[in-house]
């Protein structure tokens, strides 16, 4: 239900300092009370001027994702709404097909954070948005060392646009794709294990609490400097939950076709109903292949029908992708094939991957850090 302007004014007035009076209160007492009240109001006004406004713009819809409509009162621009939440956008950090990432400043905590801005009219078909608009609040509640911390999210609706803002922890190492691309050489298979184990640990946790990511790719993995990580340089965190889906019935298939085409499983490319967890495994397989080779396992220059055919025939391009370097181990190839299995019923599940001989040791190391993090968080809350 929407909140009217009069309601907001009423709430604003009721939250300001006030004094109580009765008919039996003396004139002197009333004068003193009025004077104290005026002093309190002056201090309150001065305090309010030094912090972001606690009054929100017009809330037009609230299920889980909050929708705010402008113009309303002093809120003329999206930036005004952002500031009402205690944030200020500083400068652009990155941009891609699903939006722009800014460095923002948390005015209350005096620290920098990241903000993903998504133009929803260009990004989502209506049905896809209806499926996904309520998932981010669940992500806000996820606390895991390999999943980016999301602070809050909301949508601003204006004349001709619907814009989602997602505020999250800032990662200083950029995204995994740029990190790998800017290196002078490919990473070794052992380095690949140590990086991939962290991604796998984050996705495994999300799946265990019923969340499918639906847009896994190296660009959606961020690096945070930490010498205590299992790789000795960065902790890798999964990010970008604008397409994620909370699945309450694991037998129910998803219908919204979303994600990045070269990371989509064949069932999505064929616009079939699909298991979102199985689709995540396929995207993880493409990601793992690209991490070690900086190539894709299928020729995406071909027509769509031929791409799907090569997937269905399991024609993974190991030879051409690794022709400039040594071929990877048989264990690596076997794991890739199990993840890029076109039959989603036969495709490896996350539990199978975590126990695969190629990654099981490194995954156990990542899980150990994860358990330490959760134990530390529980002690802080108690």
pLDDT confidence of residue 337: 98
Which pLDDT tens digit goes with each residue over 16-27? Answer: 322 222 233 344
pLDDT confidence of residue 72: 87
pLDDT confidence of residue 199: 98
- pLDDT cut 90: percent of the chain above it: 56
pLDDT reading at 252 higher than 70: yes
What fold does the segment set 176-381 form as a domain? Answer: Transferase(Phosphotransferase); domain 1 (1.10.510)
Q: Which residues contact 1 (CB under 8 A, 6 or more apart)?
A: 62
pLDDT confidence of residue 301: 95
The answer to whether the predicted template modeling score (pTM) of the entire model surpasses 0.85 is no
pLDDT-derived band at 79 (thresholds 50, 70, 90) equals: very high
Least confident of 43-52, 99-108, 203-212, 235-244: 43-52
- Looking at per-residue pLDDT, the higher value among 146 and 378 belongs to 146
d(CA 298, CA 323): 15
- Looking at per-residue pLDDT, the higher value among 35 and 11 belongs to 35
Least confident of 15-29, 72-86, 331-345: 15-29
Which pLDDT tens digit goes with each residue over 258-293? Answer: 889 999 999 999 999 999 999 999 999 999 999 999
- Give ranges for CATH 1.10.510.10 in the chain: 176-381
- Give ranges for CATH 3.30.200.20 in the chain: 58-168
Could you tell me which residues are beta bridge partners of residue 61? 67
Domain range 58-168, CATH architecture: 2-Layer Sandwich (3.30)
pLDDT confidence of residue 141: 72
* Three-class HEC string of the chain: CCCCHHHHHHHHHHHCCCCCCCCCCCHHHHHHHHHHHHHHHHHHHHHHHCCCCCCCCEEEEECCCEEEECCECCECCHHHHHHHCCEEEEEEEEEECCEEEEEEEECCCCEEEEEEEEEHHHHCCHHHHHHHCCCHHHHHCCCECCECCEEEEEEEEECCEEEEEEEECCCCCCEHHHHHHCCCCCCCHHHHHHHHHHHHHHHHHHHHCCEECCCCCHHHEEEEECCCCCCCCEEEEECCCCCCEECCCCCCCECCCCCCHHHCCHHHHCCCCECHHHHHHHHHHHHHHHHHHCCCCCCCCCCHHHHHHHHHCCCCCHHHHCCCCCCCCHHHHHHHHHHCCCCCCCCCCHHHHHCCCCCHHHHHHHHHHHHHHHHHHHHHHC
């Amino acid at each position: 239900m929407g909140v009217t302007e009069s309601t907001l004014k009423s709430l604003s007035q009721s939250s300001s300092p006030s004094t109580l009076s009765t008919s039996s209160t003396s004139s002197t007492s009333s004068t003193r009370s009025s004077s104290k009240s005026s002093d309190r109001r002056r201090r309150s006004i001065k305090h309010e001027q030094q912090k972001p406004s606690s009054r929100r713009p017009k809330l037009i819809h609230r299920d889980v994702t909050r929708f705010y409509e402008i113009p309303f009162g002093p809120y003329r621009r999206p930036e005004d709404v952002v500031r009402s939440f205690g944030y200020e956008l500083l400068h652009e950090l990155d941009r891609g097909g699903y939006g722009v990432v800014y460095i923002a400043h948390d005015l209350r905590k005096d620290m920098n954070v990241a903000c993903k801005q998504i133009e929803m009219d260009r990004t989502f078909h209506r049905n896809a948005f209806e499926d996904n608009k309520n998932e981010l609040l669940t992500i806000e509640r996820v606390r895991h060392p390999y999943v980016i911390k999301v602070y809050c999210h909301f949508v601003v609706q204006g004349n001709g646009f619907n814009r989602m803002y997602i505020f999250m922890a800032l990662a200083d190492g950029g995204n995994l794709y740029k990190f790998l691309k800017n290196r002078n050489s490919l990473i070794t298979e052992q380095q690949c294990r140590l990086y991939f184990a962290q991604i796998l640990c984050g996705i495994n946790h999300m799946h265990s609490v019923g969340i499918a990511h639906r847009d896994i790719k190296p660009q959606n993995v961020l690096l945070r400097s930490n010498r205590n990580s299992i790789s000795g340089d960065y902790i890798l965190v999964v990010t970008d939950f604008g397409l994620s889906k909370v699945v309450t019935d694991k037998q129910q298939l998803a219908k919204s076709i979303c994600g990045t085409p070269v990371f989509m499983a064949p069932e999505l490319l064929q616009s079939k109903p699909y298991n979102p967890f199985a689709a995540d495994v396929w995207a993880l397989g493409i990601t793992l292949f690209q991490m070690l080779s900086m190539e894709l396992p299928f020729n995406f220059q071909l027509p769509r029908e031929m791409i799907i055919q090569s997937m269905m025939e399991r024609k993974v391009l190991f030879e051409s992708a690794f022709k400039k370097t040594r071929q990877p181990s048989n264990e690596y190839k076997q794991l890739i094939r199990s993840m890029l299995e076109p039959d989603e019923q036969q495709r490896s599940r996350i539990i199978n991957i975590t126990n695969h001989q190629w990654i099981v040791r490194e995954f156990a190391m990542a899980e150990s850090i994860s358990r330490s993090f959760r134990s530390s968080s529980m002690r802080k809350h108690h």
